[in-house]
Structure 1
Amino acid sequence: MDVIEPVKRIVEKATGIGIPSREEALGCVRDVRPSRMKFRDDGYIPNNPKFPLLYYRKALRFGRKDDSAAVLEKLFNINGWGEAWRNGIYDYVHYHSMIHEVLGIARGSATLRLGGNKGKTVKVGAGDVIVVPAGVGHECLNAGSTFLVVGAYPPTGTYNECRGSFQERDQAITAIRRVGVPKQHPLYGSRERLW
Structure 2
Amino acid sequence: MLLPSGSLLAMMSFAAGTFSAGASGNPQFMTLQRTAGVPNNPLPLIIYPQVVPDDVEDIASWFEDLFARHLWLPRWRYPVYPYTHYHPNTHELLGISAGSAQILFGGETGRAVTVHTGDAVLIPAGVGHQQLAASDDFFAVGAYPRGMQPETCRDEPSLMMQSLEAIDRVPMPQHDPITGGEGAVTEIWHPLLHR
TM-score by length of 2: 0.79
User: Which residue among 138, 152, 155 is the counterpart of 1:164?
Assistant: 155
Q: Which has the higher strand share?
A: 2
Q: 1:151 aligns to what? A: 142
Alpha-carbon shift at residue 138 of structure 1 (Å): 0.5
1:13 alignment counterpart: none
Structure 2 counterpart of 1:35, one-letter code: Q
Cα pair 1:156 1:182 within 8 Å, conserved: no
Deviates more, 1:89-98 or 1:149-158: 149-158
The code of the aligned residue for 1:191 comes to: E
Match of 2:34 in 1: 41
Report if aligned partners of 1:157, 1:179 keep a CA contact under 8 Å in 2: no
CA distance in structure 2 between the aligned counterparts of 1:62 and 1:99, rounded to whole angstroms: 31
1:116-167 CA-partner distances (Å, limit 9, x unpaired): 1111111111011100000000110001111010010012533100102133
Match of 1:25 in 2: none
Q: Which residue in 2 is equivalent to 1:22?
A: none
Report matched runs for 1:11-90 at 5 Å.
32-49=25-42, 51-63=43-55, 66-90=57-81
Instruction: Classify the secondary structure of the residue corresponding to 1:111.
Output: strand
1:124 alignment partner, SS class:
strand
Secondary structure at the aligned position of 1:99 is classed as: coil
Determine which of 132, 136, 150 is the counterpart of 2:127: 136
Q: Quote how far apart the aligned CAs of 1:193 are.
A: 5.5
Counterpart among 86, 111, 126 of residue 95 in structure 1: 86
**Partner residue, 1:127:** 118
- Cα distance in structure 1, aligned partners of 2:159 and 2:37: 10
Q: Which amino acid aligns with 2:63?
A: L
Give 1:84 deviation, angstroms.
Answer: 2.5
Q: CA RMSD in A?
A: 1.7
Specify the structure having the higher radius of gyration (Cα). 1
Aligned to 1:177: 168
| Long gaps (5+) in structure 2 | 1-23, 190-195
- How many residue pairs were aligned? 163
Q: Give the drift of 1:45.
A: 0.7
Change (3 A) 1:193 1:121: closer
1:33 offset after TM fit, Å? Answer: 2.6
- Identical positions, percent: 38
Mapped to 2, the partners of 1:119 and 1:88 lie a distance apart of: 19
4+ runs of 1 displaced by more than 3 Å?
none
- Say which is worse superposed, 141-150 or 177-186, in terms of deviation: 177-186
- Cα distance in 2, alignment partners of residues 61 and 92 from structure 1: 31
Q: Is the 8 A contact 1:105 1:128 kept in 2?
A: yes
SS in 1 for 2:142: strand
Unaligned runs of 5+ in 1: 1-30
